[in-house]
Amino acid sequence: GAVVSQHPSWVICKSGTSVKIECRSLDFQATTMFWYRQFPKQSLMLMATSNEGSKATYEQGVEKDKFLINHASLTLSTLTVTSAHPEDSSFYICSARLQQGSTEAFFGQGTRLTVV
């Protein structure tokens, strides 16, 4: 299967600082990537759809100014959590599809963010 790599795997940051998470498709080009957040024992909640070369589409209730998404190339999307607070501590996961109409999405290994 296709490989999606996410970096870092875990990060601890202080309140008020910003953290950038990278999502890369290693062996395919992804025009669309998806960012999810998962709290303990909860489902994956879609935060936003990242589109290469254009603005991301955010789900209702997700602050676009707080969660900055950049999809500058066909193999890289980044999520920046700005002015992080302890309640932003969560597991962030990206995914990508091989192509339009493909049913299967491939997930990155996730990033465990802890804000202290």
SS3 96: strand
Q: Cβ 74 to another protein, closest distance in Å?
A: 18
Nearer to another protein, 18 or 99 (CB): 99
Q: Cβ 83 to another protein, closest distance in Å?
A: 26
- Nearest Cα to 48, choosing from 63, 59, 61? 59
Contact 92, 22 (CB under 8 A): no
Burial of 22 (0-12, 13-18, 19+ CB in 10 A): middle
List interacting residues with another protein (CB under 8 A): 1, 6, 34, 41-46, 49, 91, 93, 95, 97, 101, 103-110, 112
Q: Cβ 107 to another protein, closest distance in Å?
A: 4
Nearer to another protein, 74 or 105 (CB): 105
Nearer to another protein, 17 or 42 (CB): 42
List the structure tokens of 1: 């299967």
Nearer to another protein, 28 or 82 (CB): 28
Bridge partners of residue 19, in order along the sequence: 81
